[in-house]
Amino acid sequence: MNKADKHPDYKKMYSVVKKLFLKTEHFKHGPYDETFFTTRVYETAKEIVKHFPECSKEEILAAAVLHDVGKSKLDSDKLFKGCTTLGTADEEWCKHPALGVPIAEKIMKKLGHSPVFIKRVSFLIANHARRGGKMKDKPLDLQIIQDADLIADWGFSGFIRPFLYTGKFSHQSIFGAVDFSLHGWDPAKDKALINLDVSKKIANKKLKLQDELLKQLCKEIKSDLL
């Protein structure tokens, strides 16, 4: 383990990732603000990893910062224009872990990380989306990354995101965003994909907050006129 491995420069890593995201049409102008999502995955990973001192916090947090960098290589047309001859949006999304590995390797190499560190972080990036039964015998560090990635967008972020989407795309009214929040997402389905009990506790807290905010909003927009 070298100096860079012991004290990774997460800020520098993030600044490179952010630049790559902002260069793309789909993240700069599209509905998915991946730069800020990355910060939430990093913070959520920090929250989970403190319960597991046996894991390498440095590798896990580096993977959290770099895990979605492959999305900078996705094709906006395939993601958002619904052109079937180009393949489906889902197929395009699925490519991002593999696309991210060479980019992350290059970033880590430039920052002076050892080959062992790079290999271990790359493994986490390559497999971060293989949730549920898609992979057997998942190492603990991969379980942490997968959980952080899954629950980072719950809670206040989960509450606010449909409204951000509405703000960017005028075809949907604010009531559409409320309707999506009430009926468009089934947390039970996603909760079943969480690996660790610690993550389940964090997720439950986040969901409670999300639910309370939504209930309060529903109360405030209720009117005899509607």
Q: Which residues of the chain form contacts with Fe ion (CB under 5 A)?
A: 68
> Nearest-CA neighbor of 129 among 77, 102, 92?
92
Q: Give the residue with the Cβ less far from Fe ion, 68 or 147.
A: 68
Q: Give the residue with the Cβ less far from Fe ion, 108 or 148.
A: 148
Minimal distance, residue 126 CB to Fe ion, in Å: 11
Minimal distance, residue 57 CB to Fe ion, in Å: 20
Q: Which phi-psi region, left, alpha or beta, contains residue 131 (left: φ > 0; alpha: ψ -120 to 50)?
A: beta
Radius of gyration of the CA atoms of the chain, in A: 19
Minimal distance, residue 96 CB to Fe ion, in Å: 6
Q: Which residue is nearest to Fe ion (CB)?
A: 68
Buried b (16+ CB within 10 A) or exposed e, 29-50: ebebebbebbebbbebbeebbe
Q: Give the residue with the Cβ less far from Fe ion, 111 or 125.
A: 125
Rounded to the nearest 5 percent, the helix, strand and coil shares of the chain are 70, 0, 30
Q: Give the residue with the Cβ less far from Fe ion, 76 or 114.
A: 76
Minimal distance, residue 60 CB to Fe ion, in Å: 15
